[in-house]
Structures are given as C-alpha cells and as structure tokens.
Amino acid sequence: MVALSDRKIEIVRMLVESAPDRIVGGLRLALADSVGDSVLASVRQLVEVEAVDRLMRNAVFQPLVPLCVGDGGDKQKLTFPAQALSFAWRGLKASAPAEMAQAVRASAAVAAAQASEQRVPDPSPAYNLLLTAAAKAFRAGEVREFKAAAELCERARPGGAEAFAACLDIAPIVRKTLPRLGDWIAQAGDETSAPARLAYKDAVAVVEDAGPRFFEMLAAQLNPPWMVLRIISAIMDKPTERYLADSELGGFPERVMAQIDESLKAIGKLDLDGGRETGREAGRLVELITQQVFELEVCIELNREHGWGQRIVGQKKALANLVEGRLRDAEKLAAAALPNQSSGFARPRRSGPKLDESPDPKAVGRAMTLLNFTHEVRLCANYGGFSAMHAKVVEKLGGQIDHYVEDVLDIARTGDAPPAIAGAFLAVAADMVALIRDEKAAELVRRRAAKACAPPDNSVILDI
C-alpha cells in the first residue's frame, strides 16, 4: 500500500493536534499493531509523537490541566478552553526554547530513573520555569500562539485571559501541594492543616486575591471536587457559616448546595419506565446528597435556624420525603408486577397468584426501576433519615414475595397453570429477591422454579 503524501500527512497531523487527549490515546492503542511502510504505520508514528508530546505538556501544566475542559464556559466553576492549553504549549516551544530543552532533559531523567528503578529526580524546577515563561508571554501577547490562547479564554469568560495567567503564577505552589492532597482530605489535625495553611499563604503572597483560584485548582485535582471543603475547613479552622459566607471562599459551599438542589430535582423526576440503570442512578444521587450534606455539616459550623444551616436542614427533609415516597411506590409497583386475584366466593376471600397470562413487561420494568433504587439507597438510609421506612418496606416486600413464590410453586407442581407462565413470574420474583435480599436467595428461588416448572417425564416403561 502506498504511503500517504506529505500534504495528507500534514492534514492528519493538524487533525491529531486538535483532537482531545482521550481521542489521541484511543488512536495510539488502535494503531499499536500497525508496522512496516503501510499508511497506518506512518499515521501511527505521527500519533505516537503527539501522544508523547502531550504527556510532556500535561506534566508541565499539571496544576492547570484539569481546569482546561471543553470550551471553558462552565458558569459554576473556573475552567478554561482545552484548546488554550495546546496553544500555550506551542507558544512555549516557539518562545522559550532554552527552558523547553531543560524541561525535556528533566523529563528524560525521570523516565530513565523509573526504568532503572532508581530514585526519581524532581523535575518541578524545570517545569516551573516553563510556567513562569508562559505567564509572562501570556500577558505580553506578542507570540501568536499565546495571543490565540488569550482570545479563546476571553471568549469563554470575561477576564479569562488574566485568570489563566494568574493561575500560571501560582501553579508552582499548587504543584508542590499535589502529592499531599490525599493526606489533607483523609486526615484532620495540625499535621495536615499547618502545611495547608502555609501553601495558602504562599499563594496569596504571590497576589492578594489568589485564594479562590488556589482552591479551584486544588478542587479540580480532587475526585469528587467538593472534597476541597475539607481543606478549606482545615485552613480556616472549621469556620462559622457567616464568616465563610462573607469571605471570598463562600462560593464553594454555595456550589455544593446548588448541586444538591439539582440532584433533588433529578430524583423527583425519576422516570419509572427508565429501567434498572435509571433506578440505580437515582439511588446513587441519593448517596451523593448524603455525602455532600455530611461534608457541609462537618466542615462548617452551621446554625439550623437560619442561613446555610436552615437550607441544609430543608434539603435533608426534602431528600427523606422524596425517598420515602419512592419506597412506598416500590411496594405498590412490586405488587402490580406480581398480580394476585381473589379465588372463588369463599368468605373470607383468599387471594392467589394470577397466572392466566405472562408478566406485563411495563409493570415489571417500573417495579424493577424502583427496586433497584431501593437497593441502591440501603447504605445511606441511616444518615439520610429514612432508615425506618427503608427497613419496613424491605421487610414487607420480602414477606410478600416469599408468600407469592410459595403459592406459584404449589400451583406449578399441581399443573394448574402453564409452566411457562409460572416460570416467568418466578423469574421476576427471583430478580426482586436479589434486590431485596441477595443473589444467593434469588438463586434458590430459580432452582426451585426450574424443578417445579420442568416438563413432566413422559418416558414409558414397558412390562415385558
């Protein structure tokens, strides 16, 4: 196969350079096996060079990389266009060759030490020189690539270019904190709060209003980002809500509470016909809310009578009401998916399984949506304030399903219902048992159903 022409290679190069990191990484894996002089081999080499270059770029700009996503227009948090990072990197190659060469040598030394399992040298000094050069060039706007990056940032948000440069100013300080972030959010006390306070002071010493940007950069490195509340609390020694609200950092708790409101709306709009994953996703939102409320209550001195404290109390009540309503619906829909009917005219009337037709897919789907929701919220029920209702509903459902299974098994054994229909309802019941109890209990129901609904042995023994 003929190799690509230089013109086509240049087109591919431009496409690869403008692609997101995940696309480049995917291409690198997909083309790993292409060898020789084929077209794919030349593309593979191009992608490999770009991937290695991006690893170097992301190492240098590590404190800012998580902030550079999409078009950078997020209204809730500080972000920059992803393309701005690419332009800044190209600008550094053009305007700071000496600093770039030093960073390349530092990166190569790290790779060599890792390969030989020796002590890894710290490349931070070389990387930080590039960040300093980038901040200077960004503000000067003389290099074409930096000018393009600044224009992108300005289009994303007013003052975006200066915000990007300001983040570059404190990026060396943020880089120094990154290895410690895990300890800062996992442990409390002077051993963690003291270095966190020192890093914060270093950041605001660079420029007085650097505090919010410092925490935005830390939050972007964390998963989930709102865990930065622990660091804020440690630095401010668990501030009162009034003090924090009046400070420049008040936007961080406000953002978390806004996320809780959005999650509550999503749970309230749960689509019962959405299926199992929809129910699980709503359940995960419940768990997320309980975690976020916990962090707010632990990290801030709240007053339940007004302000944030009152708002959070209201959110907890709204959550409990929503979940309890869904749990009651789960009980009703489970009964609808495993329908019963009255038998005869005896007094009192006895109800039994209705096995004259196959399970209704819609009824089963709606029940499984809420049973998956019920299963997902079990671990956060205590802190969420709905543990009593959850335990009550699960116990009642378990008893009802057990009774239903025994009745269907009896009917299946006597042949009073088509085996296929009885087996279908038992399969639904087994799936419910897996969510109400566990998979072991569900498997027991499935084995009993297989035995009860098996076709009869029609073999004939001849008496010779």
> What mean pLDDT is reported for the chain?
87
> What mean pLDDT do residues 159-176 have?
94
Same domain, 110 and 161: yes
**Among 83-97, 343-357, 436-450, which stretch is predicted with the lowest mean pLDDT?**
343-357
Give me the pLDDT at residue 454, please: 79
Same domain, 123 and 20: no
Output phi, psi for 89, to 5 deg. -65, -45
Output phi, psi for 248, to 5 deg. -75, -5
Same domain, 73 and 154: yes
Q: Identify residue 325 by its one-letter amino acid code.
A: G
Give me the pLDDT at residue 458, please: 46
**Res 217 pLDDT > 90:** yes
Q: What's the pLDDT tens digit per position in 296-348?
A: 999 999 988 889 999 999 999 999 999 999 999 999 999 999 998 865 554 54
> Can you tell me the distance from the alpha carbon of 405 to that of 421, in angstroms, rounded to the nearest whole number?
13
Same domain, 373 and 362: yes
> Can you tell me the distance from the alpha carbon of 149 to that of 161, in angstroms, rounded to the nearest whole number?
8
Which of 9, 28, 60 is the C-terminal boundary of a domain? 60
Which of 60, 91, 109 is the C-terminal boundary of a domain? 60
Residue 425: Cβ-neighbour burial (10 angstroms; 0-12, 13-18, 19+): buried
pLDDT class of 183 with cuts at 50, 70, 90: confident
**Among 92-96, 172-176, 192-196, 242-246, which stretch is predicted with the lowest mean pLDDT?**
192-196
- Which residues are paired to 342 by β-bridges? 351
Q: What's the pLDDT tens digit per position in 419-434?
A: 999 999 999 999 999 9
Give me the pLDDT at residue 460, please: 43
**Res 171 pLDDT > 60:** yes
Give me the pLDDT at residue 461, please: 42
> What mean pLDDT do residues 210-226 have?
94
Q: Within a domain: residue 267?
A: yes
> What mean pLDDT do residues 398-405 have?
93
**Res 51 pLDDT > 80:** no
Task: With CA atoms as reference, report the closest residue to 111 among 163, 191, 36, 55.
Answer: 55
In this structure, what token pair is assigned to residue 390? 């959850």
Q: Within a domain: residue 244?
A: no
59: Cα separation from own chain's centroid = 23
Same domain, 280 and 266: yes
**Among 255-259, 442-446, 452-456, which stretch is predicted with the lowest mean pLDDT?**
452-456
> What mean pLDDT do residues 453-464 have?
55
> What mean pLDDT do residues 184-202 have?
83
Give me the pLDDT at residue 1, please: 47
* Half-sphere CA count of 199, side-chain side, radius 13 A: 27
Same domain, 99 and 112: yes
Give me the pLDDT at residue 187, please: 73
Angle (CA) 296 240 265, round 5°? 30
Q: Which residue has the tokens 């009964």?
A: 335
CA distances from 159 to 162, 166, 327 (A): 6, 11, 48
> Can you tell me the distance from the alpha carbon of 421 to that of 453, in angstroms, rounded to the nearest whole number?
9
User: 40: which residues sit within 8 A by CB, 6+ positions away?
Assistant: 31, 34
Q: Within a domain: residue 211?
A: no
Same domain, 201 and 314: no
User: Does an H or E element contain 126, and which?
Assistant: helix 124-140
In this structure, what token pair is assigned to residue 398? 């378990």
> Can you tell me the distance from the alpha carbon of 434 to that of 125, in angstroms, rounded to the nearest whole number?
56
pLDDT class of 18 with cuts at 50, 70, 90: low
Same domain, 420 and 434: yes
Give me the pLDDT at residue 14, please: 64
> What mean pLDDT do residues 388-393 have?
95
Q: Within a domain: residue 18?
A: yes
pLDDT class of 8 with cuts at 50, 70, 90: low
> What mean pLDDT do residues 364-390 have?
94
Same domain, 310 and 271: yes
Residue 178 DSSP code: G
35 versus 390: the higher-pLDDT residue is 390
Residue 240 DSSP code: B
Report the interhelical angle of 228-236 vs 190-206 (nearest 10°): 90
> Can you tell me the distance from the alpha carbon of 64 to that of 174, in angstroms, rounded to the nearest whole number?
9
Number of domains making up the chain: 3
Which of 175, 206, 237 is the C-terminal boundary of a domain? 206
> What mean pLDDT do residues 207-222 have?
93
Hey, is 223 helix, strand or coil? Answer: coil
Same domain, 75 and 193: yes
Same domain, 174 and 290: no
Q: What's the pLDDT tens digit per position in 234-286?
A: 999 899 999 999 999 999 999 999 999 999 999 999 999 999 999 999 999 99
pLDDT class of 168 with cuts at 50, 70, 90: very high
Q: Within a domain: residue 289?
A: yes
Same domain, 14 and 114: no
Q: Identify residue 257 by its one-letter amino acid code.
A: M
Task: With CA atoms as reference, report the closest residue to 363 among 281, 425, 450.
Answer: 425
Q: Within a domain: residue 24?
A: yes
What 117-123 contacts at long range (C-beta under 8 Å, 24+ apart), as own/partner pairs, is 123/59
Q: Within a domain: residue 284?
A: yes
What residue numbers bound the domain in which 308 lies? 262-339+354-452
> Can you tell me the distance from the alpha carbon of 200 to that of 208, in angstroms, rounded to the nearest whole number?
11
Q: Within a domain: residue 461?
A: no
What 200-207 contacts at long range (C-beta under 8 Å, 24+ apart), as own/partner pairs, is 200/235, 202/173, 203/170, 203/173, 203/174, 206/169, 206/170, 206/173, 207/166, 207/169, 207/170
